[in-house]
Amino acid sequence: MPSLDNLLAAHQKMMRHTRASDLLTDPDQRHRPLDFTLGETLFVDFSKHPVNDETLSLLVQLCRDAGLENKRDAMVSGAPINTAEQRPALHMALRSGPGARAYHADGEPVSQIVHGVLSDIEGFCADVQAGKRKGATGRPFTHVVNIGIGGSDLGPRMVCQALRPYADTGLEVRFVSNVDPSDLEQCLSDLDPAATLFVVASKTFTTQETLTNAEAARHWLNAKLGLDSSDVAASGAHFVAVTAAPDRAKAFGIEASAIFPFWDWVGGRYSLWSAIGLPIALAVGYPRFAELLSGANALDEHFISTPLEENIPALMGALAYYYRNYWDAASHAVLPYDQNLEALPAYLQQLEMESNGKSVTTDAAPVAVRTAPVIWGAAGTNAQHSFFQCLHQGTDTVTMDMMAAANSKAADQGQHKILLANFLAQGQAFLEGQDQARAKSRFLAKGMSEEQAELAAINSQIVGNRPITMMIYPELTPWVLGALIALYEHRVFVQAVLCNINPFDQWGVELGKVLAKEILPALTADKPVTVDPSTQALMDRLKDWQS
């Protein structure tokens, strides 16, 4: 019997010249339209993919053979599925409310401590909003600056931007991440120190960028407010910590009641549901943060209990794996038709590329498949006037996700309909493309000469048949956003299972950190360091230019 790998390769050869537009109307190819819904709220449509019943059946078999259901259940049970680090991965526990599924880490119950921290966050947000929490001069806070990087930045940043229409707490939340001093400097330039609260978010509380920026923020507060800079606690009222290392936060001068914990079974890029989401709760209010968790929980329950044939993240993940490994798709574009979701591609870039950008299997062997693609994208309609040319007429297969809400919170619904018309039209164009004859007739109708029309038509051919998933929902509420993010988290998990890699570690980022620590003294104090000749030449020239 041929292996599933061979079957999929043969199937792809058969399907590569099949048009999805033909499959749409052929009940022999598809026994049902390929759309799926979560609670009548999130509509996920695979119908524009060049796939048929046979494709899906093979992909479901692939998931089964890879042990997806068992591995998913192991994750839910709190087993140490983060193998190389021997830890569970329990982000799902963070969004399972009281009365819902109870989670355990290595056998120990965790749901109660999760709910305890959420309750602390709720109380803290209420106090800040009510002006009960005050700065060093007795002023209530009007601005919050989150200092974090990677998983302590991208999630809350993206969600705060996405939920801008809900930001009615009176607290303006900003984000600083880069060690480049321009980032903090720009952020603070128009802020009133007396009314500014800093959230310092770092799992280890040793992250170089975050601690450097936190120190600089304290320096700014002390200088501006005339506080005693020899007393780390003097500006303590202006700092909150979110960390799995509370002792280090205390040593920084942050008071115990302002330290929110999370745990080593929460990966940074899966952590916006934990206290890392504090800036979200401050921006939109705790009840909406709870709705976000609730939407994610609904998707979790769908992932846990839906048969693979109807399981949205399983199908999305399996399709992604299929295109990556059988269609040579090296990248995946995320195209939200929603300006407020502009930061979603950057968020998903970390989620998927840091999780699955690996070359070693869970059995410590070299991988034999292609792992994470490049994730990129931008908001529509902006992207139409930028890189869509390449998506329509480029030489590579790029898979795509497009998403849009039926209704906008903006006042101008007419303009929102223009946005939706573009969303639908691009989906149609990616599906159907345009052959030379059709293009030519359009140009002739515009009054071009035969010769002009012929040349223009050759340049206007669009292959179409691009693999595209379209997602719609009534409105981008906190609930919908939570479900959408959780959908991607599980999609990434499914891809990891199919590649047989561990999505919860990131050993590859350590080397650069080690080398940066070795190089820094050479830049600041002329200490000798042994580096390659290329790096040496760059360093010498940078230092020349500095003097």
C-alpha distances (whole Å) from 386 to each of 134, 271, 380, 404, 512 are 46, 32, 10, 19, 33
Segment 128 to 157, residues that bind a copy of itself, using CB under 8 A: 149-151, 153-154
Segment 218 to 247, residues that bind a copy of itself, using CB under 8 A: none
C-alpha distances (whole Å) from 185 to each of 4, 178, 189, 439, 490 are 55, 11, 6, 52, 37
**Of 43-51, 227-235, 282-290, 315-323, which segment contacts a copy of itself by CB under 8 A?**
43-51
Is 385 labeled as catalytic in the residue annotation?
A: yes
**Contact call for residue 179 and a copy of itself (CB under 8 A):** yes
- Say how far apart CA 513 and CA 62 lie, in whole Å: 38
- Say how far apart CA 488 and CA 403 lie, in whole Å: 13
Cβ neighbours around 84 below 10 Å, total: 12
- Least distance in angstroms from the C-beta of 234 to a copy of itself: 21
Segment 303 to 362, residues that bind a copy of itself, using CB under 8 A: 330-331, 333, 337-340, 346, 349-350, 353-354, 356-360
C-alpha distances (whole Å) from 400 to each of 144, 327, 335, 347 are 35, 13, 7, 16
CB proximity list for 413: less than 8 A, separation 6 or greater: 407
Least Cα distance to 301 among 476, 485, 487, 115 occurs for 487
Segment 372 to 401, residues that bind a copy of itself, using CB under 8 A: 372-376, 378-382, 384-396, 398
**Of 136-144, 313-321, 481-489, 515-523, which segment contacts a copy of itself by CB under 8 A?**
515-523
Question: Which lies closer to a copy of itself via its Cβ, residue 98 or residue 474?
Answer: 474
- Least distance in angstroms from the C-beta of 268 to a copy of itself: 8
- Least distance in angstroms from the C-beta of 41 to a copy of itself: 9
Least Cα distance to 351 among 254, 268, 417 occurs for 268
Q: Beta partners for 433?
A: none
Active-site annotation holder among 40, 385, 451, 510: 385
**Contact call for residue 44 and a copy of itself (CB under 8 A):** no
- Least distance in angstroms from the C-beta of 476 to a copy of itself: 10
Q: Binding a copy of itself by CB under 8 A: which of 65, 108, 185, 231?
A: 185
Q: Is the dihedral of CA 165, 135, 218, 515 positive or negative?
A: negative
Is 354 labeled as catalytic in the residue annotation?
A: yes
Question: Which lies closer to a copy of itself via its Cβ, residue 252 or residue 347?
Answer: 347
Which region, left, alpha or beta, applies to residue 205 given φ > 0 means left and ψ of -120 to 50 means alpha?
A: left
**Contact call for residue 455 and a copy of itself (CB under 8 A):** yes
Question: Which lies closer to a copy of itself via its Cβ, residue 304 or residue 353?
Answer: 353
**Contact call for residue 414 and a copy of itself (CB under 8 A):** yes
Both ends of the chain: CA-CA distance in Å?
71
- Least distance in angstroms from the C-beta of 280 to a copy of itself: 18
CB proximity list for 425: less than 8 A, separation 6 or greater: none
Question: Which lies closer to a copy of itself via its Cβ, residue 37 or residue 61?
Answer: 37
Is 104 labeled as catalytic in the residue annotation?
A: no
Residues identified as active-site: 354, 385, 513
